[in-house]
């Protein structure tokens, strides 16, 4: 599997920066500037910013830094999702809910789910590329990511337009958040609740049907309550769909721009990991300080806000180069670490592998591209590719 060798000019290396600047024209330059000020820096009005992967991992593994205090993700998502989802929980309750959910995301189960949902869409995508058609990979990924989340929350098989609609609804909610956001406005909360109530209703109906072939039905078997199932469906909808849909086009663009050869599943996995490092699916993570502690050499006190600049931590490792191994402190840091490591990682990886292996089995090249604006996760609005 390999793209056509790239003959792009040196500016090809700037495409990722252009995506970030299109999404966050003010915040991104500030975040990158902070990377030059040291591994940990206190910024008035912003918080304590972490630019070092080892320090970031230590914070994420330390129970004194929480997701449910002031300045944490709870400020954003509790008004929308309620107090009992993995995004805003800590302690024994968080651990208990996580243990209930983990059997739903084993690599074997999610690989089978993805293979079933994407069998026909991938066959169609493969045929289009084989015929030499120009394909907008962004639109294709929205359809496929939407189809997977539809199956996950209990909708079953849906037409392309319904998958697009569902993706657009999730994108609308996520795009209310910027790198500077501390909380949503009352109007934004109302909009988000309307979207997620519809998702919750779908999920609860599947939960009550108890069909063990569905994720919601399996949640009931695993002992989750209807409320927990609704909350989980909303969290997966918000965090999983856009992450995968935005990443795959960026992955393919990086491979094409750098003339990277992808020959076999092991090489593909290395390329995926390296592309995740460069693109950083979660560019920033937030924690609230619960007890006095040190972040690197900076003293923090209860109520302080810690902003982990995951993108700075990751980009410190250098430019895109799949042949260079990641140091231990950097491993999958963009999916978190410790008790909050992303529970949906196996599902995301299964989707990414399935689509990337299909696309990169052709000698693809990028025909045109356009950066998206007004989004939280930097991405392409369109990425047109073709195979030679």
Contact 66, 91 (CB under 8 A): no
pTM, two decimal places? 0.89
Residue 105 has pLDDT above 50, yes or no: yes
Centroid of chain to Cα 95: 22
**Helix and strand tally (H, E) in the chain?**
14, 10
- CATH code of 10-387, in short, is 1.10.630.10
Residue-level pLDDT at 179? 63
Share of the chain above pLDDT 70, in %: 95
The domain spans of the chain are: 10-387
Quote the tokens at residue 53: 């992967």
Residue-level pLDDT at 180? 66
**Region class of 98: left (phi > 0), else alpha (psi between -120 and 50), else beta:** alpha
Residue-level pLDDT at 323? 94
Quote the tokens at residue 367: 């025909």
Contact 271, 255 (CB under 8 A): yes
Mean pLDDT of 153-182: 77
Residue-level pLDDT at 13? 42
* Integer Cα distance of 207 and 221 in angstroms: 9
Q: How confident is the model at residue 4 (pLDDT cuts 50, 70, 90)?
A: very low
- Looking only at the bridges linking them, the beta strands covering 40-43 and 47-50 are antiparallel
Quote the tokens at residue 163: 């998958």
């Amino acid at each position: 599997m390999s793209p056509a060798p790239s003959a792009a000019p040196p500016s090809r290396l700037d495409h990722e920066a252009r995506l970030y600047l299109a999404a966050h024209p003010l915040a991104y330059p500030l975040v990158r500037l902070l990377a030059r000020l040291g591994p940990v820096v206190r910024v008035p009005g912003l918080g304590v910013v972490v630019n070092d992967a080892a320090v970031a991992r230590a914070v994420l593994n330390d129970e004194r830094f929480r997701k449910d205090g002031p300045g944490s993700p709870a400020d954003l998502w509790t008004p929308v999702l309620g107090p009992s989802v993995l995004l805003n929980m800590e302690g024994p309750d968080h651990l208990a809910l996580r243990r209930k959910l983990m059997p739903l995301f084993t690599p074997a189960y999610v690989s089978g789910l993805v293979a079933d949902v994407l069998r026909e869409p991938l066959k169609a995508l493969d045929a289009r590329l084989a015929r030499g058609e120009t394909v907008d990979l962004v639109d294709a990924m929205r359809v496929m990511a939407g189809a997977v989340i539809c199956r996950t929350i209990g909708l079953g098989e849906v037409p392309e337009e319904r998958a697009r609609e569902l993706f657009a609804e999730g994108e609308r909610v996520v795009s209310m958040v910027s790198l500077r956001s501390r909380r949503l406005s009352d109007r934004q909360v109302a909009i988000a609740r309307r979207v997620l109530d519809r998702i919750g209703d779908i999920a609860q109906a599947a939960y009550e049907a108890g069909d063990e072939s569905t994720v919601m039905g399996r949640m009931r078997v695993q002992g989750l309550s209807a409320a927990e199932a609704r909350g989980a469906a909303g969290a997966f909808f918000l965090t999983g769909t856009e992450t995968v849909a935005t990443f795959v086009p960026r992955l393919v663009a990086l491979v094409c721009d750098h003339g990277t050869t992808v020959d076999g599943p092991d090489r593909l996995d290395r390329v995926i990991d390296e592309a995740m490092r460069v693109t950083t699916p979660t560019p920033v993570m937030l924690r609230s300080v619960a007890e006095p502690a040190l972040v690197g050499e900076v003293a923090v006190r209860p109520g302080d806000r810690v902003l982990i600049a995951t993108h700075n931590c990751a980009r410190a490792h250098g430019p895109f180069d799949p042949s260079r191994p990641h140091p231990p402190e950097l491993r999958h840091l963009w999916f978190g670490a410790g008790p909050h490591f992303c529970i949906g990682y196996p599902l995301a990886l299964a989707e990414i592998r399935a689509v990337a292996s299909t696309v990169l089995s052709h000698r693809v090249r990028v025909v045109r591209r356009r950066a998206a604006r007004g989004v939280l996760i930097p991405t392409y609005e369109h990425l047109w590719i073709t195979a030679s």
